[in-house]
Amino acid sequence: MNKNDSYTLARIRMVEEQLAARDVTDSRVLEAMRQVPRHLFVPPDLSEEAYLDTPLPIGHRQTISQPYIVALMTELLALHGQETVLEIGTGSGYQAAILAHLSRHVFTIERIPELTESARKILGELGYRNVTVVEGDGSQGLADHAPYHAIVVTAAAPEVPEPLKLQLAGGGRLVLPVGRQHGQILERWIRRGEDFKRERVAPVAFVPLVGEYGWTSDEPAPFWWF
């Protein structure tokens, strides 16, 4: 068996054992997770661990989320294929690739220049033409292309950034972790006119969202934050 075949089998097992066997039921999300080569979105020395049920470091104090969390957050967006989606926190570009299979266009923002460039490069090499990678402060959103049918934030905010709520279309879904730096609750906000319905989904642990409407630094929080 060659290396590509082994990665394909690992990806199929990941979907069956980590996602479908749990509470991820959206067939389109499961198929996207089968298609995207996660091992190409992690550092080369970690490619053999790419399909394990765990987050992995990607440098610059950032991580690629565990596959289950990626699938769960994606499913919560309830995408049908024609949406414009905003992602905050591009990281390696993996989540953006998943979203690209499920929506019309993905705008994704990354504050770290090196990650912005590497994500843009791998997404381009893999042929994702419906993803636009932007460098900037994701906590401010991306007003130029608003409103968005769905927004996903892959970093933890102390509270929901107001610009993201304003940039969400009517009926749109905003999925993000909210809480302290060492533990948050994954939430979904659904816009109904000027009102929002909040759903609390699950406890999670994400790197901090750094920016004007997030944390001021990604330095580890002091012990008294536990």
Give 138-173 pLDDT, tens digit per residue.
Answer: 999 999 999 999 999 999 999 999 999 999 999 999
Which residues partner with 64 through β-bridges? 56
What's the chain's average pLDDT? 94
CA 29, 99, 185, 26: dihedral to nearest 10 degrees? -10
pLDDT at 222 (0 to 100): 42
Domain count, the chain: 1
Give CA angle at 224 (223, 226), nearest 5°: 80
Q: Please write the tens of the pLDDT for every residue from 15-45.
A: 999 999 999 999 999 999 999 999 999 999 9
Best CA proximity match to 185, nearest among 169, 198, 172: 198
Domain, as residue range, for 202: 54-225
pLDDT at 2 (0 to 100): 67
Question: What is the CATH classification number for the domain harbouring 88?
Answer: 3.40.50.150
Sequence-ordered list of residues with C-beta below 8 angstroms from that of 78, at least 6 positions apart, any chain: 150, 173
Identify the active-site residue in 65, 92, 103, 139: 65
Instruction: Determine, yes or no, domain membership for 15.
Output: no
Instruction: Determine, yes or no, domain membership for 75.
Output: yes
Percent of the chain with pLDDT over 90: 92
pLDDT at 225 (0 to 100): 34
Instruction: Determine, yes or no, domain membership for 147.
Output: yes
pLDDT at 46 (0 to 100): 97
Instruction: Determine, yes or no, domain membership for 73.
Output: yes
Instruction: Determine, yes or no, domain membership for 130.
Output: yes
Instruction: Determine, yes or no, domain membership for 211.
Output: yes
Instruction: Determine, yes or no, domain membership for 70.
Output: yes
Residue 65 has pLDDT above 70, yes or no: yes
* Run of H or E including 99: helix 94-102
Residue 223 has pLDDT above 80, yes or no: no
65 is catalytic: yes
pLDDT at 84 (0 to 100): 98
Instruction: Determine, yes or no, domain membership for 115.
Output: yes
Best CA proximity match to 102, nearest among 162, 173, 28, 165: 28
